[in-house]
Structure 1
Amino acid sequence: MSNLSKQVEHECDSSTGCNAIELLLHPREKDLGGFSVRRVLPAVQRKMVGPWIFFDHMGPAEFSAGEGINVRPHPHVNIATVTYLFEGEILHRDSVGSLQAIKPGDINLMVAGSGITHSERERPELTAVDHTLHGLQLWLALPEADEEIDAAFYHYPEADIPTAVVNDVAVRVMMGSAYGVTSPVKVFAKTLYVEAHLKAGQTLSLPDADERAVYVAKGKLKSKETEIAEYAMAIFSDQKGIVLEASVDSRIAIIGGENIGKRYIEWNFVSSRKERIEQAKEDWREGRFPLVAGDEDEFIPLPE
């Protein structure tokens, strides 16, 4: 999804919890015209968790027939994007020639590297009827050695994502390794991304990682005596043996990994170098990015 404003960092309501929780972020809902987004990262209070630098929870959005997602071509550099849907579908096109319907349960990894352009729309069959869209969109900052690699797109269907049952809790290891299983999804640094469904009263131990956070997409958790509300993200320390307990039936995302250093971010551009972002802005203004195959006629202008 394109960031629609030049300024990417958002102010979140924040607080501190138990000593294992470094920060609690409560994103503010933003109306993007027809649907809402909760942007958790980057926040003024916390820019990144491991290599993750952007975390949006979109929807659930209810669209009437004739309406839907219609994001015109826009650029990225020096990151990889991850799209994961709970409900609905997005039609992805990009400048490396990809045409992919993204469906619930799939992992879709778009590597911007030295530069990519993509659009996110919907198939006519979908927009012809009432429909729902709900999911997460995340950006991974690439390690400095990989920032300028060739652009690429990887699609992993739902059936390829490994699952496990941990203390009766169903988990999916989307990226990285946790709970004795390893995801096939390509990573560039030590990266953690896990989804879990907990029933009320169930508990789950957090996998170890240098940095990690838990986002409550639905429900409510607690860690010791600290409550983690629906739509909140808890940033945890690297303390071992941290246990989460579901107060009600909950769906959560666990993200994390290694700290790869400071990144600059403006609009849809992320880099370890400020001058690289300025170059990307100039390249987009001057039309030097590659066009999206099959979607060449429109684009989102650079915010000024």
Structure 2
Amino acid sequence: MSNIQLIIEERAADIGNFLVGRLLPFRQKRAVGPFVFIDHMGPVKLNDHQNLDIGPHPHIGLSTLTYLFEGAIMHRDSIGSVVEIQPGAVNWMTSGKGVVHSERTPDYLRHSEKHLHGLQIWVALPVELEEMEPSFTHVEAQEIPAWTENGLQFKLIAGEAFGRKSPVPVFSPLYFLEIKSREAATINIGEQLFGESALYILEGSIKDDGEEYGPKQILIAKNAALCTFEMAANSTVYIFGGEAFPEERFIFWNFVSSRKERIEEAKKAWADRTFPKIEGETGFVDLPEARF
């Protein structure tokens, strides 16, 4: 019997001067464990006068996880962090009570052709930590736990699974795994996962109970402890999830909170320009007009 409860197809979304594939939230599934938002950026080729330029914008109540497959992004934030994100590294920024950051093509790439491809992920914070002080952690690619098993290549990008722990400082029980196959293989996750679980197919395909699924799909599992599937050769998948929070999370623009009134406060603070500033940045992204 198939363990798939729901299939989510990637949908196009405009984030300013850049189109992405939106995966979460979805009308029938707002979150998977603490994961409340996932965008698939690219793959896209940018010419010598096209650049990623997401100006200063705010966040509350979440941690952002940026993971690139290709390209580079310069991250700046109001905490004082200035870091270039490279493929395989993890950018983990926790907004807590409020942070502002920008994401741009690095200066040395702005006048040349380049590619960009990766994932942008939001992880909600537990209620008691929603108003914590902002923090930032950058974990280099070589620090991410990686191993080979039965011909498959694994990386534990964040959280805990398979008796391993990522150095990314998460705030609730979760996991975010990368699995790559060179040859066709059958995977039985068994009792390794917990909570809610989902699988995202980046490239290649998988089979579950005789059905084949391809790229740009998220498969939501019925039971995280019963995860068995076949991976085709040269496939890449991401398995993510964890313990869901008992309280609902509300999302407006870049704000996540268990309280709608807190989001209204954040909207007013951004409109009034009372959020912290980023040194060296002068612009800002306007607050959208849409309501809940």
Report the number of matched residues. 286
Partner in structure 2 of residue 188 of structure 1: 171
Are the equivalent residues in 2 in contact too, given 1:78–1:113 (CA < 8 A)?
Answer: yes
Partner in structure 2 of residue 50 of structure 1: 33
2: distance between equivalents of 1:87 and 1:40? 19
What's the secondary structure of 1:176's corresponding residue? strand
Residue 262 of structure 2 is aligned to residue 279 of structure 1: no
One-letter amino acid matched to 1:242: C
1: distance between equivalents of 2:97 and 2:75? 19
- Residues 260-294 of structure 1 show CA distances to partners (whole Å, capped at 9, x for unaligned) of 13100011100000000000000000011001122
Residue 203 of structure 2 is aligned to residue 218 of structure 1: yes
- Residues 181-232 of structure 1 show CA distances to partners (whole Å, capped at 9, x for unaligned) of 2111101110110011113411222332111100011111112223222110
Partner in structure 2 of residue 268 of structure 1: 254
Which 10-residue stretch deviates more, 240-249 or 129-138?
Answer: 240-249
Partner in structure 1 of residue 116 of structure 2: 133
Partner in structure 2 of residue 4 of structure 1: none
**TM-score, scaled to structure 1:** 0.91
What's the secondary structure of 1:282's corresponding residue? helix
2: distance between equivalents of 1:19 and 1:171? 24
Q: RMSD value over aligned CA atoms? A: 1.4
Residue 124 of structure 2 is aligned to residue 115 of structure 1: no
One-letter amino acid matched to 2:241: G
One-letter amino acid matched to 1:274: K
Are the equivalent residues in 1 in contact too, given 2:79–2:99 (CA < 8 A)?
Answer: yes
Measure how far apart 1:246 and its partner are. Answer: 1.5
Partner in structure 1 of residue 275 of structure 2: 289
What's the secondary structure of 2:28's corresponding residue? coil
One-letter amino acid matched to 1:174: I
Residue identity over aligned pairs, in percent, reads: 40
What's the secondary structure of 1:145's corresponding residue? helix
One-letter amino acid matched to 1:180: G
In structure 1, stretches of 5+ residues that fail to align are 1-17
Of the three residues 21, 29, 53, the one matched with 2:12 is 29
Stretches of 4+ aligned residues off by more than 6 angstroms = none
1: distance between equivalents of 2:142 and 2:205? 28
**TM-score, scaled to structure 2:** 0.94
Summarize the Cα distance change of 1:278–1:245 in structure 2 as closer, same or farther, 3 Å threshold.
Answer: same
Summarize the Cα distance change of 1:103–1:208 in structure 2 as closer, same or farther, 3 Å threshold.
Answer: same
One-letter amino acid matched to 2:220: I
In structure 2, stretches of 5+ residues that fail to align are none
